[in-house]
Structure 1
Amino acid sequence: MMLYKLNEILFNKQISSRYWHMEVFVGQDVDNVLPGQFFNLLCSNENTFPFLRRPLSVYKINYDKKTIEFLYLVKGDGTKRLTKFKNGDCMDLVGPLGVPFKLNNGARHILLVARGVGIATLTALAQYAVEKGIQCHAILSARTKDDLLAVRLLTSLGVHLHIVTDEEGTSELTHVKEIMQKIHYKFSIQGIYVCGSKRLSKLAKSFVIEQKLEGQIALEEHMACGMGVCFACVCNILNDENIESVRVCKEGPVFDLRKVVL
């Protein structure tokens, strides 16, 4: 069921030089939210610019408190406007939207590969997987340590973290692949889930094909409607031997990693 109403913001705060953290009360509708899905947020309640909503993936689902949380990168006019919302304000949002992640039956170990704000998307999946008794391993990539997100939460969930950053010179693809190989050799992972970097996504795609593993990717695209009407967020996937154009907001944002054209 899609939620379309005003919802109370419990907090909206800056957590680093570029990122903000928001929690919104959604009531019983929280039961319909799954990791990998997103909400389309109206950036202003005053009918002012920007008029188009901004899609934010779910970072954390709090079924007990009936809230959801977002981590967002402040970059353009829309996200700058989102920072103006204060505790107790109401926000117009639509969701949950899109296709969520799917976990394989019988999976015991999975690997999450994320960079930047993509870490937020995969944190919700880690929370969901841990609740199902699946051990998560994660490679988190960022420009700097200041840009690393969700480290404390992921650690509290028992996720085995491997952190790489540009500033320390540890984020090169050769090094990341070595980490992936070591994790797979030791734990025989059953699936790889990726978000946030085309470079890392290409690496993960080649790895799942090479190792004959399952893989899923949450794509990030600019969107307008968020519901499949405007075709502004089209990507290409392989359908047998043909390339097919699909909508990230409707057929995605989660796709089979092996089929996405990167």
Structure 2
Amino acid sequence: MYPIDVTITKIVRESPSTKTFFFDRSFEEALPGQFVMVWVRGTDEIPMTLSYKNAVTVQKVGDATAKMFELREGDHLGIRGPFGKGFTLPGPDERILIVAGGVGAAAIVMLAEYALSKDASVTTILGARNVGEMLFVYRLTPCKGLHLTTDDGSAHRCGFVTDVLVEIDSSAFDRIYICGPEMMMKCVFGILEKQGSLEKAEFSLHRYFKCGIGVCGACCMDSEGLRVCKDGPVFNGMQLIGSEFGKYMRGPGGNKKLF
């Protein structure tokens, strides 16, 4: 599958470490939680979630994203996808809980907007290191409940998303969606497991991808061999019991990287 060439039409600085890149192609078929493979010419091809139907939100963390931060409007990217298993879409009048941390908000904000359009009741817990790094608050303000946390207390509640979660009755929700740093998600996993709510929880995982379509096996997880790019990146909480989730992941050479 060859990348589709897209032209960057607008770049928005979301925070000191993140930018949103809009392009001239809208992927209307994309489901919230799916990803695209973004080819940064001369550097690398990496997976990114769509934060809009025609945009990706990027945190500067490696060679490819650093190169993207040098791009300007009018420059080009290659896009393959959308790929993978997205979030289960909520139905009308369902009560849903969203838990997002850091740039994980980019993977989940389209889901919140979809749920709101279907008259679902949406409660969101959104966390960030500090107020400057908090993403897409303006897109989440229509939620019935919006709980904001910052690690340093620079805005709203000082603490972590888990501090809010333990005060909420998860049994009151029909579906629960989680995306963020893996150790954050592992803590959420533990809380939901204790509360007996894992079966209705879905987690969006990040792993090293090569092909993005389930062929190469680079993103297989122990112990069931689930392919994150094909069987995920969204997994039901029950699928992650006893897996490597929250313990380690693998790098380009297959070496284990502990969290």
TM-score by length of 2: 0.83
For 2:238, the equivalent position in structure 1 comes to 258
Choose which of 28, 48, 52 in structure 2 pairs with 1:60. 52
Taking the aligned partners of 2:122 and 2:173, their CA distance within structure 1 comes to 9
Asked if structure 1 preserves the Cα contact closer than 8 Å seen for 2:14 and 2:135, the reply is no
Choose which of 92, 105, 108 in structure 2 pairs with 1:122. 108
For 2:248, the equivalent position in structure 1 comes to none
For 2:13, the equivalent position in structure 1 comes to 14
Taking the aligned partners of 1:91 and 1:128, their CA distance within structure 2 comes to 27
Asked if structure 2 preserves the Cα contact closer than 8 Å seen for 1:8 and 1:90, the reply is yes
- 1:43 and 2:43 correspond: no
Asked if structure 2 preserves the Cα contact closer than 8 Å seen for 1:12 and 1:83, the reply is no
Asked if structure 2 preserves the Cα contact closer than 8 Å seen for 1:217 and 1:257, the reply is yes
Taking the aligned partners of 1:172 and 1:5, their CA distance within structure 2 comes to 39
Kindly tell me: are residues 162 and 173 of structure 1, through their superposed partners in 2, closer, same or farther at Cα, counting changes over 3 Å?
closer
Query: Which runs of 5 or more residues in structure 1 are unaligned?
Result: 62-67, 237-242
Asked if structure 2 preserves the Cα contact closer than 8 Å seen for 1:113 and 1:200, the reply is no
- 1:81 and 2:67 correspond: yes
- 1:245 and 2:225 correspond: yes
Taking the aligned partners of 1:159 and 1:233, their CA distance within structure 2 comes to 36
Work out the percentage of aligned pairs sharing the same amino acid: 29
For 1:65, the equivalent position in structure 2 comes to none
For 2:249, the equivalent position in structure 1 comes to none
For 2:28, the equivalent position in structure 1 comes to 31
What are the superposed Cα offsets for residues 24-69 of structure 1, whole Å, 9 maximum, x if unpaired?
1225xx231110011111112xxx2x2x3011101123xxxxxx12
Asked if structure 2 preserves the Cα contact closer than 8 Å seen for 1:177 and 1:203, the reply is no
Letter in structure 1 aligned against 2:7:
E
Asked if structure 2 preserves the Cα contact closer than 8 Å seen for 1:3 and 1:95, the reply is no
For 1:171, the equivalent position in structure 2 comes to 159
Taking the aligned partners of 1:70 and 1:95, their CA distance within structure 2 comes to 13
Taking the aligned partners of 1:174 and 1:196, their CA distance within structure 2 comes to 12
For 1:198, the equivalent position in structure 2 comes to 182
Query: Which runs of 5 or more residues in structure 2 are unaligned?
Result: 246-259
Structure with higher RCO (Cα < 8 A, 6+ apart): 1
TM-score by length of 1: 0.82
Kindly tell me: are residues 75 and 173 of structure 1, through their superposed partners in 2, closer, same or farther at Cα, counting changes over 3 Å?
closer
